[in-house]
Chains A and B, each alone.
Chain A
Amino acid sequence: MTEFHVDTTASGIGVVRPEGRLNMVAARQLKSVLADLVAGGTHRIVVDLADTSFIDSSGLGALIGGVKSTRQQGGDLRIARPTEAVLTVLDLTNLTKILRPRDTVDGAFDD
Chain B
Amino acid sequence: MTESSTLQALPDRLELSAPASEEMLDLVHVLLEHLWQQHEEVPVAERMRVEMAVIEILANVIEHAFEVDAGRPAADERGDGRRFTITLGVTDAEVLIDLADNGEPAAIDLSRVTMPDEDAESGRGLALALASLTDLSFHSADGRNHWSMRCDLS
**Residues of chain A whose beta carbon lies under 8 Å from any beta carbon of chain B:** 1, 21, 23-25, 54, 56-58, 60-62, 64-65, 67-68, 84-85, 88-89, 92-95, 97-98
Tell me the minimal C-beta distance from A20 to chain B in angstroms: 9
* Of B74-82, B90-98, B103-111, B113-121, the one touching chain A: B113-121
When the two chains form their complex, are residues A23 and B25 in contact, meaning their CB atoms are under 8 A apart? Answer: yes
Cβ contact of B55, chosen from A56, A65, A93, A94, cutoff 8 A: A56
B29 touches A54 (CB 8 A): yes
Interface residues of chain A: helix, strand, loop or mixed (majority): helix
Residues of A close to B23: CB separation below 8 A: 25
Per the bound structure, the CA–CA distance linking A50 and B44 in Å amounts to: 18
Q: Tell me which of B49, B119, B124, B125 contacts A88 (CB under 8 A).
A: B49
Is chain B's binding surface mostly helix, strand, loop or mixed?
helix
| B48 CB within 8 Å of chain A | yes
Report B-chain residues with C-beta under 8 Å of the C-beta of A23. 25-26, 29, 55, 59
Any A CB within 8 A of the CB of B2 = no
Q: Given that A56-B52, A92-B132 are contacting pairs, would A97 and B118 also be in contact in the complex, using a CB cutoff of 8 Å?
A: yes
B12 within 8 A of A: no
**What total of chain B residues lie within 8 Å of the partner, measured CB to CB?**
29
Given A21-B29, A54-B51, A88 and B121 contact (CB-CB distance below 8 Å): no
Q: What residues make up the interface of B, taking CB atoms closer than 8 Å to A? A: 22-23, 25-26, 29, 44-45, 48-49, 51-52, 55-56, 59, 62-63, 115, 118-125, 127-128, 131-132
B153 CB to closest chain A CB (Å) equals 16
Contacts of A1 in B (CB 8 A): 26
Q: Pick the residue among A25, A56, A92 that contacts B22 (CB under 8 A).
A: A25
Q: Tell which of B45, B48, B49, B122 touches A61, judged by Cβ atoms closer than 8 Å.
A: B122
Q: Give the contacting residue for A64; candidates B29, B56, B119, B132; CB below 8 A.
A: B119
Cβ contacts under 8 Å, B124 to chain A: 57, 60-61, 93
Contacts of B59 in A (CB 8 A): 23-24, 56-58
- The verdict on A93 contacting B125 (CB below 8 Å), with A54-B29, A68-B119, A88-B48 known, is no
